[in-house]
Copies of this chain bind each other. A is one copy, B any other.
Amino acid sequence: MLKVGIIGAGRIGKVHITSISTRVKDASIKTVADPFMNDETAQWAKGMGVEHVTKDYKEIIDDPEIDAVLICSSTDTHSPISVEAIKAGKHVFCEKPIDHDIDKIQAVIDALKGTNLKYMVGFNRRFDHNFEAVQAAVAAGKIGRPEIIKITSRDPEPPSPEYVKVSGGMFLDMTIHDFDMVRFLAGCDAEEVYVQAANLVDPAIGEAGDVDTAVITLKMENGAIAVIDNCRKAVYGYDQRAEVFGSEGMVAVTNDSASSAVISNAQGVTGEKPLFFFLERYMDAYGKEVTEFINAIVNDTDTPLGVEDGLKPVLMGLAAKKSVKEHRPVKISEIMG
C-alpha cells in the first residue's frame, strides 16, 4: 500500500483526493497540505479517509513514510516543489503545466536524472474515453496515415481578467491541453506553429494582454497538418471534440452530455447540451489518470506522461505566443535554441 501526500487542496486537489480515496486500491492518502487549510476542508478530507492535514507542505516532503506526492498547488510552485520532492526521493505527479519557463522545467528534468523515480504530468484528457478511442483507432492503423488532425476546444465561461493576467496567456493555460492532445493523436511532435488569434469574447481579456479566440495550425513531424480552434466562451457548454483524417478513413468524437434524451416538439428536435465544464466531462478521466500514476509506481513501469511530455506542450505554447507577436509561422526549434 503506497502512502501518498497531496500538496494543494483546491478544486483539482479535491478531485485527486476523491479518486484515490474511492477508486485506487494500492494507495492511501497520508497527508494533505494546503496553505489555506481550514476546518471545512479538514473535515471533508477526514471523511475521505485522509490521515492528516496541514498548512505546511514540507511535512509531506520531509515524511519518510510518504512514497509519492501529487502537486496540485499554484502553477508557480509546480517546478520548485517537483525538485524538492524528487530530492526527497519521492515519486511525483504534477498538475499541468510544470512551468511556463523552460529553464524551470529543465531543472525538474535535471533533478530526475540518475533516479528511478516516476514523474507524471497531469494531462487528464488522454484518459477520457472518447479521446482514448480516437488515439486507439489511429494507433491501430484504422485510418491509415494521419493527414489532418482537428481539435475543437472551447470553454463554457471565460476566466476573470485577474486570472488571465497570471495565467501565462491562453496558449499556456488552455491550449496547452490541446497541444498535448495533438501530440497524443498524431503520435509525434509538432515542427511549426502558426496562430490566427483575436480578442472577441471580452475586451477586458484583451486589456489584460491576452487573446480569447484562436485557430492554431501545426505542421507535425509525420507530415500531418493539425488545427486547433479555441474560444474562451461557448454559450452551449464545454466543447471538446477531435477528428483525425487519414489515408484510409477518419475517426471523430463528439461531446458527452448528461443523457441521450431528445425532445421533439413544434420547435424542433432538441438534445442536451454538452456536459458543462471539465469537472463534469473529465471526472472519470481524472480517476484513470491517477490510477495510472499509482500503477506505474507499483509495477515499476513508465508513467504514460513523463516530464518530456510536460515540456513539449510548453514549447508549443511559447511558439504560439511568438507566432501571434510576430505574425508568422514559428518553428518549435526556434524556442529551444
Contact = CB atoms under 8 A, between A and B. Distances in A.
Given A247-B200, A249-B236, A130 B259 contact: yes
Interface string A185-224: 0000000001011101100000000000111011100011
B25 A47 contact: yes
A19 to B, nearest CB: 10
A165 to B, nearest CB: 23
A58 interface: no
A336 interface: no
A253 B264 CA distance: 11
Interface residues of A, number: 74
Nearest to A192: B196
A129 interface: yes
A143 interface: yes
A3 interface: no
A129 B150 CA distance: 25
A272 B269 contact: yes
A245 interface: yes
Contacts of A214: 225
A101 to B, nearest CB: 28
Contacts of A236: 249-250, 264-266, 268-269
Top 6 nearest A-B pairs by Cβ distance? A249-B265, A133-B261, A133-B259, A236-B264, A22-B22, A270-B270
